[in-house]
């Protein structure tokens, strides 16, 4: 199976990461100097590229902003949860994971992946149903992070939570009704942050499996943050907690 990714930066990151590419289209009329680094990368890797009418990119992009660059690539490969945990332990680091319980907006998932890459997350876990997967839009919004953050897609999030707990990973979920602030948890331990979807939050069953439920203090009139923003706050809290401990 193949997919398309759009935008100069996303395609360049995919090429740099060694992603299998069938071909790259560049829009006729665009300034060649603006893509000379990309063209150099493609030539080094012997990836075929073609200058084509912009209308062809418009057609495959289907209203997405392609910026004059499109690449046909192999579909994104998911990894197993076991691989993610093993990779973290192989690095000699406490596992740092994200469980996304039903994120449906590709812009949110793309932003989360970008922040996950910046904060050293070992892997992201998403459900197979009622959630967005690794799409071309997600790839573009992630600004290339999709190439570096392993993603596992699982059938049952509750069983996955139990597996992680068996592996010594502590589950910290976000809940606006919790009395415990997110700042009071010591994240210098094997941890998986559990983030709910944009509407209902974390499912009740998964919430019961969390070792901690924490809230982000809200002083304004809006009752909750965007899912990707809330995730970013939590990720940097983990990073800061571990930095303070020297890890």
Q: Which CATH superfamily is domain 81-244 in?
A: SPOUT methyltransferase, trefoil knot domain (3.40.1280.10)
Look up residue 92 and give its two tokens: 């000699």
- What confidence tens digit (pLDDT) does each residue in 148-187 have? 999 999 989 999 999 999 999 999 998 878 889 899 999 9
48-84: burial string, b at 16+ Cβ within 10 Å, e else: ebeeeebeebeeebeebebbbbbbebeebebeebeeb
Look up residue 163 and give its two tokens: 């597996």
- What confidence tens digit (pLDDT) does each residue in 117-146 have? 999 999 999 998 888 888 878 888 898 899
**Lowest mean per-residue pLDDT among 21-30, 152-161, 187-196, 220-229:** 220-229
Name which residue leads in pLDDT, 123 or 215: 123
Q: What is the pTM of this model?
A: 0.75
Domain ranges of the chain: 2-74, 81-244
Tell which CATH architecture fits domain 2-74.
2-Layer Sandwich (3.30)
Residue 219 has pLDDT above 90, yes or no: no
Residue 226: predicted pLDDT: 74
- What confidence tens digit (pLDDT) does each residue in 47-91 have? 889 999 999 999 998 888 899 999 988 777 889 999 999 999 999
Residue 225: predicted pLDDT: 66
Average of per-residue pLDDT across 191-200? 87
For 30, residues 6+ apart whose C-beta sits below 8 A from its C-beta are 68
Residue 166: predicted pLDDT: 96
Q: Do domains 2-74 and 81-244 have the same CATH topology?
A: no
């Amino acid at each position: 199976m193949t997919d398309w990714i759009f935008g100069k930066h996303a395609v360049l990151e995919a090429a740099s990461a060694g992603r299998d590419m069938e071909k790259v289209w560049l829009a006729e009329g665009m300034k060649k100097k603006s893509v000379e680094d990309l063209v150099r990368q493609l030539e080094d890797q012997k990836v075929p590229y073609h200058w084509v009418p912009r209308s062809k990119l418009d057609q495959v992009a289907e209203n997405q902003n392609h910026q004059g660059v499109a690449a046909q690539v192999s579909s994104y490969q998911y990894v197993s949860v076991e691989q993610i945990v093993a990779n973290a332990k192989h690095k000699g680091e406490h596992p740092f994971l994200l469980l996304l319980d039903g994120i449906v907006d590709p812009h949110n998932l793309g932003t989360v992946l970008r922040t996950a890459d910046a904060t050293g997350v070992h892997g992201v876990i998403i459900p197979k149903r009622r959630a967005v997967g690794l799409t071309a839009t997600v790839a573009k919004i992630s600004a290339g992070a999709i190439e570096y953050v392993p993603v596992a897609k699982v059938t049952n999030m509750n069983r996955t939570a139990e597996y992680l707990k068996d592996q010594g990973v502590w589950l910290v979920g976000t809940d606006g009704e919790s009395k415990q602030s997110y700042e009071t948890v010591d994240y210098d331990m094997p941890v998986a942050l559990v983030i709910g979807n944009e509407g209902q939050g974390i499912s009740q069953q998964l919430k019961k499996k969390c070792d901690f439920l924490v809230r982000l203090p809200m002083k304004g009139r809006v009752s909750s943050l965007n899912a990707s923003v809330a995730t970013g706050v939590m990720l940097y809290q983990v990073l800061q907690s571990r930095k303070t401990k020297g890890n």
